Chain A
Amino acid sequence: MSFFYSCKGTPPTNDLNIPMGLECTDTTPSLPLRIYFYGYNPEPDFSGYNIYISTTHSSWSSMQSLVDQHISNGGFSSSINNNIISSVQGGNTYPTIPSYSLSQVSAGAQKVEFQINYDGASNGLNLAVSYYIGITAIDLNNVLESKISNIIKVDSSSCTGVN
């Protein structure tokens, strides 16, 4: 059977489209922090988007390492919950932006806007420090998560992309 699995028709292990085009809405960020990105996720079991946030993971590969830790032993690990914004402040409810609150992302490229009020530990944001933010698409049923979007660095003075 092995040669069948080498065929290009084999379904990919992760076929969730990556959200991209993450930017701040305002040139000079303020609270609540307003961001937007673009998504196109027609996958039938698409569950929504997770927003990753950190003050220390300052590159794309470093933020992607958080995503890599999220799936463990066929399930989602809670070890990095403090780096994912809960959909409910004070809770551990994911994805950050559930698919039921989104319209049209299954039909074509769509702009998604979101306001961030608190970090992954449910503490209010403090823009005196710099935050690194990225987005993933997630499928809870099949325990799948896309790679992370482009990363932005945000503080009170600016919002810039990082590599």
Chain B
Amino acid sequence: MKKRFFLLCLIVIFSSCGLPSSEELEDMNVPLGLSKNQTGVVCSGTTPTALSISFYGYNPESFFSGYNVYIMTAGTDPANEIKIQVQSHIIQASDGQSSFSTTVEDNYIVKNSYSQLPSVSLTYLESNYPGFYSQPTKITYNITQLPNSTSLNISTEYSIGVTAISLSGKIETLPSNVITIQFSCQ
């Protein structure tokens, strides 16, 4: 009986080693310095085709999956409105398990070119920014569609924020600074 109890204790201890801890969550670097890339809008003549952003990231964490780009029509308090959606993205269940909110994902998080999350995938980072894991890196990203895969609306002002996320650990940082960009060509 004592042997079984000892074995059970070892299993619990080792299984807890596989998931990122709260200390690691705090240690996951928040992307910072979000800004417009050049004018913030890619234009074809006078027609806007994409929103263009840049930010700085440094995430060598082993459980890091990429960056999520949050977007919404600009309101009166953009930073707080983005933060509320970020905090609503991970749903904590009473049994300790957590999951991602599809409502938040469908309405507020930009999908990558494979219509998946995170918005900025490891594949994108590794192919475009080879030194990404070794030092803070300026990352540029174009938003061509809204989270529900419809077109961006001309002349609309959008609020944008970025988070770092771990899909396996179901952890996400607070958002970067938040910016607003109007989807139009001057």
* A-facing residues in B9-56 (Cβ within 8 Å): 13-14, 16-21, 23-24, 26-27, 29-35, 55-56
CB of B118 closer than 8 Å to a CB of A: no
Contact of A64 with B135 in the complex, beta carbons under 8 Å = yes
CB of A108 closer than 8 Å to a CB of B: yes
In the assembled complex, the Cα of A20 lies from the Cα of B135 at a distance in Å of: 11
CB of B141 closer than 8 Å to a CB of A: no
CB of A53 closer than 8 Å to a CB of B: no
Contact of A161 with B138 in the complex, beta carbons under 8 Å = yes
CB of A96 closer than 8 Å to a CB of B: no
Contact of A40 with B26 in the complex, beta carbons under 8 Å = no
Contact of A8 with B24 in the complex, beta carbons under 8 Å = yes
Among A6, A7, A9, A109, max chain B CB count under 10 A is at A109
Q: Which of A10-18, A27-35, A69-77, A118-126 contacts B (4 or more CB under 8 A)?
A: A10-18
Interchain nearest-CB distance for A103 vs B (Å): 15
Chain B residues, CB < 8 A from A10? 23
Contact of A20 with B17 in the complex, beta carbons under 8 Å = no
Q: With contacts A38-B32, A40-B30 known, is A7 near B176, CB below 8 A?
A: no
Interchain nearest-CB distance for B53 vs A (Å): 12
SS class of chain A's interface: helix, strand, loop or mixed? loop
Chain B residues, CB < 8 A from A61? 135
Contact of B56 with A150 in the complex, beta carbons under 8 Å = yes
Contact of A8 with B174 in the complex, beta carbons under 8 Å = no
Q: List 19 A-B contacts (CB under 8 A).
A: A3-B13, A6-B17, A7-B16, A8-B21, A9-B23, A12-B24, A15-B23, A17-B29, A17-B30, A19-B32, A20-B56, A21-B56, A38-B33, A42-B26, A60-B135, A108-B79, A108-B83, A108-B175, A110-B177
Residues of B in contact with A (beta carbons under 8 Å apart): 13-14, 16-21, 23-24, 26-27, 29-35, 55-58, 79, 83, 131, 135-138, 174-177
